[in-house]
Structure 1
Amino acid sequence: MLTHQRKNEILARLKREGQVVAKTLSECFGVSEDTIRRDLRELAGEGLLQRVHGGALPASPAVADFAHRQGIESETKRAVAAAAAKMVTTGQVVILDGGTTAVEMARRLPRDLTATVVTHSPSIAVELINHPGIEVIIIGGRLFKHSIVTVGTAAMEALSHIRADVYFMGVTGVHATAGLSTGDLEEAYMKRALAAHAAETVVMASSDKLNAASPYMIGELSLASTIIVEKSTQASLTEPLAAAGVTMVMA
């Protein structure tokens, strides 16, 4: 079997089975594990999969910057955001992540809601200007322009005195065993810190982020108490997450 044929078969198995194991592929194709690891490395370099210890997982498709993602109108995004907004109740202290779905959620918070929103996203803060009952606390730090959020030591330090009721998190990868992940190391640290300062974490994700992984791990799946996805999501994607003890909300 030629190299390109083997790679195509690896991708086909990954799509069909949700993950591949280097040792199993080696035995199946009759080649060394070093050869398989090289194939996986090259496919990962093309953004076609995400390497993990012992094999690979599907790569998250969420790689575009904020401006590009903001221009994509999505019924899925609006449905997930609307479901998340309904979870916020009067008097809560809420941490709201950055990202286009979080901005959409902020737009859907009731104008008469009385609550406190803590955010490291200037975009979220601007969306809440016309909500008179919502107190907005902005976490400062270095601006990560890709997602328009603050990160770094200053942002982490600003969290030290905050204890929130709930954190609404955005991710680029959700996997039953590989956990929650994102595409930037500092963002991963920041999201983990935000989750540590909330009583519970709700993840907002589209179905294409399920059973997928990005390079930087935010935490185990157990970090999330609830995951919101669109109602059309296939059961094969949600069942492993529900089996792991996470509440699935179909928006």
Structure 2
Amino acid sequence: MLTSQRKALIAERLNREGEIVAKTLAGELALSEDTIRRDLREMAAEGLLKRVHGGALPLVPPLPDFAARQAVASDEKAALGARAADMVKPEQVIFVDGGTTTAALARALPRGFAFTVVTHSPTIACELERHPTAEVVLIGGRLYKHSMVTGGAAALEMIRSLKADLYFMGVTAAHPTHGLTTGDMEEAATKRIIAENAAATFVLLTQEKLGRASPWRIMPLPAATGLIVPAGLMPEVLAPYRDLDVEIVEA
């Protein structure tokens, strides 16, 4: 098999199955594992996939700026946000992550009873400016402009002093093996600490984030209480996540 044919097969398999295991593919093609690894290295250098230990994953492209992301999959995000908002109960303290999907959640939060929203996102706080019953606590720190959240020592000190009933997490990717990931090392650490200080963590996931991985791991999938995903996904898409005994909430 020519190199170009192998790479085309790898790209097709990666698109269909969401990962490549070098040892398995080498056995199927009766090739050496070194040959497959070399192909994966070359494809990674060309920006076609992400190399990981033992194989490869689809490449998650760099995020566009916050304003541009607001227009992407807006109906899907609205449905996820509405389903997450239904989980909120009176007098709870909820932590709402930054992001365009969680902004949809903020807009859908119930207005018939009192609760507290803690966030490190000025954008989320602004969404709640006119909310009649939500007490809003905004965590300060250095602003990460691409995702519109604060971070750094001051933010982490405040987060560690908090015990939230619910944490609604935003991520850039979720993969059964490689877990919940994001594109920034500091943000990954911040999200992990928020989850450690919450009684329950639910992750809002648009379809495009499933089966992918970003550079920085937040935590393994089973560490989350549940995943909120779009309704109507094919059973085989969700099967690897259900196998991890994590709650799947369809929106």
Same-fold call, TM > 0.5?
A: yes
Contact kept, 8 Å, 1:188 with 1:217, in 2: the verdict is yes
Deviation digits for residues 194-243 of structure 1, max 9, x if unmatched?
Answer: 10110010000012211211111110111211111111211111121112
- Is 1:39 the counterpart of 2:59? The answer is no
Distance 2:121 2:47 in 1: 27
DSSP-derived class of the 2:212 partner: coil
Equivalent pairs, count: 251
Tell me the residue number matched to 1:110. 110
Tell me the residue number matched to 2:124. 124
Could you state the TM-score of these two structures normalised by the residue count of structure 2?
Answer: 0.92
- Is 1:160 the counterpart of 2:178? The answer is no
Tell me the residue number matched to 1:234. 234
Contact kept, 8 Å, 1:112 with 1:131, in 2: the verdict is no
Could you state the TM-score of these two structures normalised by the residue count of structure 1?
Answer: 0.92
Distance 1:45 1:100 in 2: 31
Contact kept, 8 Å, 1:242 with 1:248, in 2: the verdict is yes
Tell me the residue number matched to 1:4. 4
DSSP-derived class of the 2:165 partner: strand
Tell me the residue number matched to 2:134. 134
Tell me the residue number matched to 1:143. 143
Tell me the residue number matched to 1:75. 75
Contact kept, 8 Å, 1:62 with 1:172, in 2: the verdict is no
DSSP-derived class of the 2:136 partner: strand
Change (3 A) 1:199 1:41: same
DSSP-derived class of the 1:64 partner: coil
Distance 2:141 2:45 in 1: 31
Deviation digits for residues 74-121 of structure 1, max 9, x if unmatched?
Answer: 211111111011111110000000000001110111233311111010
Tell me the residue number matched to 1:202. 202
RMSD of aligned Cα (Å): 1.9
Tell me the residue number matched to 2:13. 13
Contact kept, 8 Å, 2:94 with 2:167, in 1: the verdict is yes
Q: CA deviation at 1:17?
A: 2.9
Unaligned runs of at least 5 residues, structure 2:
none
Tell me the residue number matched to 2:22. 22
Query: In percent, how many aligned pairs have the same letter?
Result: 54
DSSP-derived class of the 1:228 partner: strand
Distance 1:121 1:25 in 2: 43
